[in-house]
A and B are shown apart, each in its own frame.
Chain A
Amino acid sequence: MPNTRYRTYVYHALLVVLVVVATIALQVFTGDFPVDIFAFPLNIVCIVLWLTVVAMLYKNRQNITLAKLLLSPGATWLSLAIMAAIGIYLGLQRQPNSSSWPVVMGVLYVLTHLAFIILRGWRNSTGIRWRFTLLHIGLFLLLGAGFWGAPDREQLRVALIENRPTHIALHTNGTAAALDYSIELKGVKAEYAESGMPTHFEAEIKVDGIETQLTVNHPYNRTLGEKIYLISIGNDNNEPYCIVEVVREPWQWVSLAGIVMLLAGAVMLFIRGPRHSATKIEK
């Protein structure tokens, strides 16, 4: 038994070293991971293939070393260490780059491990393990939507001058794009405290013929997957203007489902508290 465990750790360490060397080499020689290539529908195809491989490996987990590795406690420690390492790596960057090969491969590893332990642990002999399921599936959905949905996310800035409708927007990389509807600024309003600190920003806009009001923290929901945000307002030579941002994120509902599940799991974590180990010492 100790020999088997030792061998598992050695295999795991070798696999990790191999993947780390490969991802660093890919980063050095090819640059960032080509996120945009994986936009819909390719991301859906990849998800289906990935989950199929996970299910097949899990089904044959007794005979396949890789499946054993991904179900081992070492994989959990490694996944959590990867999450912490990614946080430190991105937290020390001025312009966080979440599409580098090491980050992408790290998140894919965490997601794969999560898929394995969800398959193994979502129920036991007494039924569904609700706290485990909510926490792990919630994290799986939240991470998964951010990972697989990133290529489908669009962020477009639109500069609006009062009473001049436009449908021209700019991608974050500076390239122009045409919206399939027009936006028009009808007026702006700003209020300031005596100290000069702003207290209220507001823009009246017309989106595809519909008049609406934008304020900070209150975007306009144009469709289920698209929102329009107020970024800034101003006045240039008595000509009011504002900058708005159009965010298209079709995967936002998957993220929200993950957040809701994680929230429910966190509440259960508080209410039920610890079940094992140290509580026995107390008794």
Chain B
Amino acid sequence: MVVFALSLIGSVLAWLKRERSGAAILFSGMGVVLFVTFVVSLWITLERPPLRTMGETRLWYSMFLLLAGLLTYARWHYRWILSFSTLLATVFMVINILKPEIHDQTLVPALQSVWFVPHVSVYMFSYALLGCATLLAIGGLVARSNRFDPAIERLLYSGVAFVTIGMLTGAIWAKDAWGAYWSWDAKESWAAVTWSLYLIAIHLALRPSTYNKAWLHRLYHITIIVAFCALQMCWWGVNYLPTAANSVHTYN
């Protein structure tokens, strides 16, 4: 609650000032530091990385979303980005607060791997970066503006870099766990869909004509939004597909 109070104060201060607000950065930064402290203390209390359940991935996602929002604000000072990242992070954290049973100390044998922490935490960080890129793409689409493009492009590159690292560390782990780098499990298939869509976005960003032609520019923003929908499918949507029954990746 304190984290969100601090983030909320930071968001309001950012709205109130046209230029970059040092106080907004300070309050939001304090919120992120407190959040990191909470996650570390949870890690110590549980005696395992808090990354096992869907709820725990939400926890990391919220933390990274606040961090990504803060970094985006500090660098490009879009006044609204802190409010949106705080709002999104709050939604995810409220779900967790209402479901305290998600934190169980046990770590099943399949998750006892050196690849567990890098694979999941890197993925969650990339989700947060790409979440911010999506917010900016929606902003650009609604405002029919290219004002957000430099930030979108940087977030997109960083997000895709971390998605790639998350996917490949997962492949290395999969080889150790069940003998194949890639086995077209439902989760892996949707990860491939997500990655391919983000690669389309990156290749669009590489073309100068994307920024000169209105329809290409809109397509670029729409691709980022669609790719983020595919990412949601990969993260939690896949659990609701009939294919989830045979997946080794389903967790609640």
Contacts and interface: CB of A to CB of B under 8 A. Distances in A.
B110 A273 contact: no
Interface residues of B, number: 63
Interface string A79-95: 01101101110111111
A279 B153 contact: yes
B108 interface: yes
Interface stretch (B22-30, B56-64, B91-99, B198-206): B198-206
A180 to B, nearest CB: 19
B246 A94 contact: yes
With a 10 A CB-CB cut-off, give which of A81, A197, A215 has the most chain B CB atoms.
A197
B163 to A, nearest CB: 8
A218 B176 contact: yes
A91 B206 contact: no
9 tightest A-B contacts by CB? A91-B189, A87-B193, A270-B161, A247-B179, A282-B150, A87-B192, A278-B149, A266-B164, A84-B196
B1 interface: no
Interface string B216-252: 0000000000000010000000100111011000000
A90 B70 CA distance: 38
* Chief secondary structure at chain B's binding surface: helix
A146 interface: yes
A267 B165 contact: yes
Contacts of B182: 146
A219 B179 CA distance: 9
B117 to A, nearest CB: 13
A61 interface: no
B245 A94 contact: yes
A175 interface: no
A5 interface: no
Given A80-B203, A263-B165, A277-B153, 12 more contacts: A76-B203, A91-B192, A91-B243, A155-B179, A195-B106, A197-B104, A198-B108, A217-B110, A229-B178, A247-B179, A276-B205, A278-B211
A274 B206 CA distance: 8
Interface string A118-130: 0000000000000
Contact of A96 (B189, B191, B195): B189
Nearest to A215: B109
B46 to A, nearest CB: 12
Given A95-B246, A277-B210, A281-B146, A199 B108 contact: yes
A227 B242 CA distance: 31
A188 interface: no
Interface string B102-113: 001111111011
Interface in B163-178: 164-165, 168, 171-173, 175-178
Interface string B16-50: 00000000000000000000000000000000000
B157 A77 contact: no
A249 B178 CA distance: 12
